[in-house]
Structure 1
Amino acid sequence: MPLLPEEPQIHESAQGPRATPATGRPAPTPRPVPGPRSTASPRPGSPGPARPGPPVRKNASAEPSAASPENRSKPQIQLIPASPDGALDAADETVDLLLDTGRAPSDVLVLTATGLHPLAAHELSFGEAAYWAQQDAAEDVFYAEAAAVGRAANRAVVVVALNGGTEADAARILPAALTKATALLIVCGDPERVNAALGVSV
């Protein structure tokens, strides 16, 4: 019998203030939380389902050979008329415009027809291994001389500065640059030389 007074005290406190400060959770409110939580995660990605639009082109035959150059859609070609002296500046302005309009730096490869771009020369001053490691890291715009186009990795956008060289050089550089672009090839140079090198009228 002396033990009974302790029990009613426990029952009274449990019955009255169920929202105890020790737990801190009001029983009626947390139940609707599962609904908003499921919708809260997609919100930061804004219209998430709209972005995966391109992968809709799923074909049974395209899956094994999607990476092959034959099945890859041809990149668009854009021409920015520029003299050999102004081609490098035109290429730099093009890169700035691409980045300003939302293109990721890792999407862009810049090739110079003759000589190194000043940024490439600067990076090469730290050693060739560190220079090419930047391309493999794919975190920024990569600058290379067209003579090394074979070693350059494919990128969505390739910008070529025809800042010198002969027509034969252009005829060698531009088709090679076209194979490195997966979406867009932008050539800064003389329109006649560009058209002759690519065999198209841009």
Structure 2
Amino acid sequence: MSVEIALSAARVRYGPLEALHGLDLPLPTGAVTVLLGRNGSGRTTALRALAGTVRLASGRVLWRGADVTRLHAHDRARRGLCFVPDLRAVYATLTVAENLDLVTGDRAKALDAYPELAPLLARPAGTLSGGERRMLALSRAVASPARVVLVDEPALGMSPDVSSRTYRLLAALAEEGGAALVLAEQRLPPGLPPGTLVHELRRGSLAFSGEAAELR
């Protein structure tokens, strides 16, 4: 299994606090990887470091072996990285339709994934419920041909049915689209495909690496 993107000896600091302690994190192509951990474990920081929205104090980000540590977040996005954060993931003052046209490039595919958004197209995104905003944010991932897809807490605020559908849609990006899919979660979600990889983080360090079945 080839490595698509990786953190190598990555350290991230927020003022005097170190959030990642020399983390090595290889993430394979065409696979689902879950970064597991409680709040403060470093899982969100790891995603942000991969996406380029926080700087490394030391270490490197490698994308197919090339050092992209100094590459800005928007340049990583142009190269095929899609990052869906847990908060502030939509443009609140724009309508649902404007959000879709701006970030997905394929409104029809996004609405196929989340038909619940169709009657909301004229609504400002800031007026949506939490689950509706999450669907709108995730439509960017499921409708884009990204090589790396990073999602922080995909099912935040969603109903169980929509949550199950979301994990199926995301898993297909790896299994059918060949993307490196990385999910940050507090708990291991149900319904992930066989062979899902898990890296459990505790206080910015790696506590476990293996397949989801081993963790259970």
TM-score, normalization: structure 1? 0.42
Higher helix share: 1
Which protein has the larger Cα radius of gyration, Structure 1 or Structure 2?
1
User: Greater RCO between the two (CA within 8 Å, min separation 6)?
Assistant: 2
TM-score, normalization: structure 2? 0.40
Higher strand share: 2
